[in-house]
Amino acid sequence: MSNTPKSKTFSTLNLTRMAILVAIASILFVIEIPIVAFYKLDLSNIPVLLGAFSMGTVPGVIILALKSVIGLLHSSSAGVGELADFLMGAALVIPASLMYQRNKTKKTALIGLAVGTVCMVAVSVFVNKWIMLPFYMGAFHMDMDSIIKYANVAGVDSEWKLLLLITAPFNLLKGFVLSVVTGLIYKPLSPLLKGKTK
């Protein structure tokens, strides 16, 4: 019984690694780089991807979820931003890790990250339309015209232009950055992530 996939997933060693990755992800979650309009880039899903690639999809999603829960401690959006981050992060991590777990090669990892990025971009459009924008309009008593004016990007004069010309490209850039960094550091960190000292 001790050698079942479930017991390996939740072994003491894996739980320890998951806890460390959650801590790193939580720290990175509060470090944001302004990119365009009100969108900011953070690298907190890199530890999530590292965990998902090295331990499996379920540990990756758990790391992602715990990062979002810890994010509630300093949330400025009543948890809405953390929910959105979880949904978009899951859209990236789940396809990427599932593909990699089936065939653990660099090529498959890159393809998985590309597929995950496309999924994240698609989910980001709907998450922003149905969750984030309605929240900000309600919280700050703004209408869509006010949000568009606040974004202050030339050529963006409607909700769908905001979503397709700002939200989608931003998340494409985010997915690209996360994928490149993960691709560069996963192999060197792989022995540590898998509990191998040599």
Q: How far apart are CA 176 and CA 182, in angstroms?
A: 10
At 119-169, the pLDDT tens digits run: 999 999 999 999 999 998 998 888 999 999 988 888 899 999 999 999 999
Q: Classify residue 125: in a domain, yes or no.
A: yes
On the question of pLDDT at 198 being above 50, the answer is: no
On the 0-12 / 13-18 / 19+ scale of CB atoms within 10 A, 188 is exposed
Q: How far apart are CA 168 and CA 176, in angstroms?
A: 12
Q: Residue 149's domain spans which residues?
A: 5-193
Q: How far apart are CA 129 and CA 2, in angstroms?
A: 46
At 15-60, the pLDDT tens digits run: 999 999 999 999 999 999 999 888 999 999 999 999 999 999 999 9
Q: Classify residue 152: in a domain, yes or no.
A: yes
pLDDT of residue 7: 63
Q: What is the CATH number of the domain that holds 50?
A: 1.10.1760.20
pLDDT of residue 42: 96
Q: Classify residue 120: in a domain, yes or no.
A: yes
Query: How many domains is the chain partitioned into structurally?
Result: 1
Q: Classify residue 198: in a domain, yes or no.
A: no
